[in-house]
Amino acid sequence: MLQSLINVILPVFLVIGAGYATTRSGYLTETHIEGLMKFTQGFAIPCLLFLAISHLDLSASFDPGLLISFYAAAGLCFAAGILGARMIFHREWEDCVAIGFCCLFSNSVLLGLPITERAFGPDSLTGNYAIIAIHSPFCYGLGITVMEVIRNRGHSGGRMLRAVLTAMFKNALILGIALGFAVNLTGIAIPAVVDEALGLITRAALPGALFALGGVLVKYRPEGDLRAIIFVCCIALLLHPSLVWLMGVSAALPQDLFRSGVLTAAMAPGFNAYIFANMYGRAKRVAASSVLIGTAASILTVWMWLTLLG
């Protein structure tokens, strides 16, 4: 089991390492990495989300118990991250929200899907897809709302609402998700040539994002933030799956959905944690390092959860 887990996670590290090495050596500059970040964050990943959701079978099993267990636990971890960053590390409130988002957004696609499939087979992924379908809308909706409320504190409620809606509809990721749902629900057929073109773009999204993350880590090293990074990793890798486990047992989830919920919650912070921090220019070093260190630590913690799940 450990060997198969390493086989899934090690390629992720190799891509991140390639980005780090080429930037560290000077072959790529900070400007190159920023351009790659802009491409992946503002174009390729929104295309990926659009294409995935537009083709998703929304009639698949969306078990309320699974979704409530997973997202109630995620929300509690978001709150724990914000309060911990404020009370323990005395960060500014905007930094606290970015750190809380790291505790909220687990890597449901890049790690969650392949690890669940390898562990329990392709027929066990129904719960994973149900979680993934609303993962980005929920997490970004919650994160952007709380961040904009804090940034606009002291202003009128109307101004706060306008700021939240403006931030939501200016976010390329949210737009990609919304358009994907619109196409899916209306049954509009995507022309084959457009679908193929989008497929070419989306195949570059995740590797490009991981490569860019490696380049970003050259600048955002964990010096001075190591305690905050460890705090984030503990919430993401231990608290979130523990809460899903307790809530899933209370909801009497079927075994396959229970496994999907716990394993997805046990994944390290996803790359979107850094995208969110980068969007607002807050706690970027904590976010970037949490993705890397959390992914490394998950080799052991996910092995533990797989053992417990039997």
Domain CATH code at residue 284: 1.20.1530.20
- The whole-model pTM stands at 0.82
Q: What is the pLDDT of residue 183?
A: 92
Q: What is the pLDDT of residue 4?
A: 63
What is the count of structural domains for the chain?
1
CA distances to 120, 212, 271 from 24, in Å: 39, 12, 20
Residues of the chain where predicted confidence (pLDDT) is lower than 50:
none
Q: What is the pLDDT of residue 210?
A: 85
- Residue 151 domain boundaries: 2-309
Q: How many helical (H) and strand (E) elements, i.e. helices and strands, does the chain have?
A: 16, 0
Q: What is the pLDDT of residue 209?
A: 86
Q: Is the dihedral of CA 20, 23, 29, 32 positive or negative?
A: negative
Q: What is the pLDDT of residue 45?
A: 86
Q: What is the pLDDT of residue 61?
A: 57
Please state, in angstroms and rounded to a whole number, the distance separating the CA atoms of residues 293 and 270.
11
Please state, in angstroms and rounded to a whole number, the distance separating the CA atoms of residues 304 and 284.
29
Q: What is the pLDDT of residue 129?
A: 83
Question: Smallest Cα–Cα separation from 215: which of 67, 19, 38, 13?
Answer: 19
